Amino acid sequence: MKKIIWVPILIMIFLVSFLLIDIFPARHEESKSNVKADSYLDQATGPIEELELLEVLKADRTATGEEALKVLAERVDATGYISNLILAERFEEKDEDSVGFYQKALELYDTREIQLKLADALGARGDIEEAILIYMTLIQDDRAIKAMMELGVEYSVIVNKLLEGNHNVIALQFIKKNIPNVDNDEAEILNKQYALLLARTEAYTKAIPLMEDIIELGETDDDFMWWYGRSLEGLGEKDKAIEVYKGLDKIGAYRLGLLLEEKGILEEAAIAYINSTAHISRWKGARILDDFQREEEALKVYYELAKETGSYQEDAAYRAYVLQTKLNIPVEDEVIEVLEKSPAWMMALGREYQWQLEEDMTPKLPEFLNRVKIFESNQKYEIAEIEKAIGEKYTSTAEKLGLGEWYQQQGQFYMAVRWGSRALNEVPSRKAYELTYQRPFQKEVLSAAEEFNIDPYLIWAVMREESHYRTDALSRVGAMGLMQIMPATGQDIANRLKVSYSDKDMLKAEKNIRFGAFYISLMLNMFEGDLDKALAAYNGGQGNVRRWSRTTVGETPEGFPTSITFMETRRYITKVKNSYYTYLWLYDEE
């Protein structure tokens, strides 16, 4: 009897199970799909096998293949990147939304090509404004311009964006091609933009007649008038330009100051400079007032510049400190706060600099390097580059230190500095300092230091700032090698040392270091041990140092650094001295 009762119960359970599977087929299929996806993924036993699997999955149009791709797309490596791109293309083929996959790919590895595809995908799903924003960032690409035109973006808006990016030649070509195709209102705007572009590309003779016609119609703004002034300058009509700049108040103040200074009307030039909002202009104005011993007026400008982040902040803070001390005015805390960030400035004030140092950490070599090596050994160089870029993007501080050590061991000191600096910005450990301030080519440096009686750490400091320890470094002006020796200077040094010279010699560590050390020694002797002047001469030339030294501000040791008119040279002195004092702090006890 009991057996008879159990039979219908079992039949009922079977029927319910069958019905549930029939009612919820998606969950059942998903489970089967996941099992099959896992069987796919089990084939990926290494980087090369993963690439082979991706080729299989690219051809597989089944739900199982898609599920496997989605799993791989979550990875943070080249495999994840490629998987997202395959999925994006797959979804586009099905007329489905591919935006998310392109966005994930770009998070891993950003390229212009994929940015364009993302913008296209956004446009396809109706997010026109978002698409245009991306196209705008790619404005120099002809495909982005064509896409915006197809989306109905006004031609003048496209030209404005090209102007913002300083893509003047592209903008000129665009206007010439499209001005016949627009209505009168937009043609007027394009004509104005065309005149501006002629001025910006220094075609002043063509620009001025067009600009004057537009000015006569009253269709101008301050930017247009500024470029009209620049065009007048370009044709030598500087008095007319002065009148234009005077009418532009703050916008024209810097150019007005330059022209007045050129005419020798210095105090009037200073007032014009100070009226500008540009840091460079206000610095120039303050320096002129300083030279005319109008120190309280100059101090006011220096102090304001010291409170504003910018290229002149440190110089202005230092000069404010010097003048406040000279005038017996209490030094402002804000001035000290700027200067205490730099070893060079604190030493100049006779104060002690406090280097930040936290507990050291153990360097860790990141795992992605093994994958990069495997790709490279299989001639997959493009994939290796992608893997490397993605891996570097997501490194921890310990891994940054590991990369720095790894590059250092291979003699790639430039790359070691790069990773040491990144680690130092995150955690100021001793290891990070040692990678950021290395001592490569020790035999050559110590030999040259002894020969020319200079501190080896000064040689390393100059080397660090000149080339970041790259033997093959070449500057845009022709300086070469570790110590960035100019060919003419190299020939002069060779004559003095009575040795042979060729440009190729300057790409060899031993000779370049010896020549650089000799030149540092020569400059120190020439300027009686004044490190600021020696470094300024190394970077900006002996003649300029003598000229700066003859100014009112430059005649004193404390005033000389801010008497230098070349920003590059002022920065150079500070950077080299920052490195030099850091070397002494880091290694001198050894």
**What residues act catalytically?**
466
Question: Within the chain, what is the greatest distance between any pair of CA atoms?
Answer: 123
The terminus-to-terminus CA distance of the chain in angstroms comes to 97
Q: How far apart are CA 57 and CA 64, in angstroms?
A: 9
474: β partners = 480
Backbone conformation region of residue 474, classed left if phi is above 0, alpha if psi is from -120 to 50, else beta: beta
Q: How far apart are CA 198 and CA 214, in angstroms?
A: 14
485: β partners = 480
Tally helices (H) and strands (E) across the chain: 35, 0
Decide if 140 contacts 156 (C-beta within 8 A): no
Q: How far apart are CA 540 and CA 463, in angstroms?
A: 16
Q: What are phi and psi of 51, to 5 degrees?
A: -65, -40
Tokens 């791109």 belong to 85
CA 283 to mean position of chain CA atoms: 25
Q: How far apart are CA 523 and CA 538, in angstroms?
A: 7
Q: What are phi and psi of 242, to 5 degrees?
A: -60, -45
C-alpha pair distances (Å), 313 with each of 283, 320, 351: 10, 10, 19
Residue whose C-alpha is closest to residue 408's, from 384, 432, 375:
432
Q: How far apart are CA 162 and CA 167, in angstroms?
A: 5
Q: How far apart are CA 17 and CA 444, in angstroms?
A: 82
Length of the chain: 590
Q: Which residues contact 337 (CB under 8 A, 6 or more apart)?
A: none
Coil vs helix vs strand at 361 = coil
Coil vs helix vs strand at 347 = helix
480: β partners = 474, 485
Q: How far apart are CA 578 and CA 572, in angstroms?
A: 10
488: β partners = none
C-alpha pair distances (Å), 212 with each of 179, 227, 247: 20, 12, 16
Q: How far apart are CA 374 and CA 377, in angstroms?
A: 5
Decide if 497 contacts 518 (C-beta within 8 A): yes
**Degrees to nearest 5, angle at CA 431 with 428 and 433:** 55
CA-CA-CA-CA torsion for 255, 261, 265, 271, nearest 10 degrees?
50
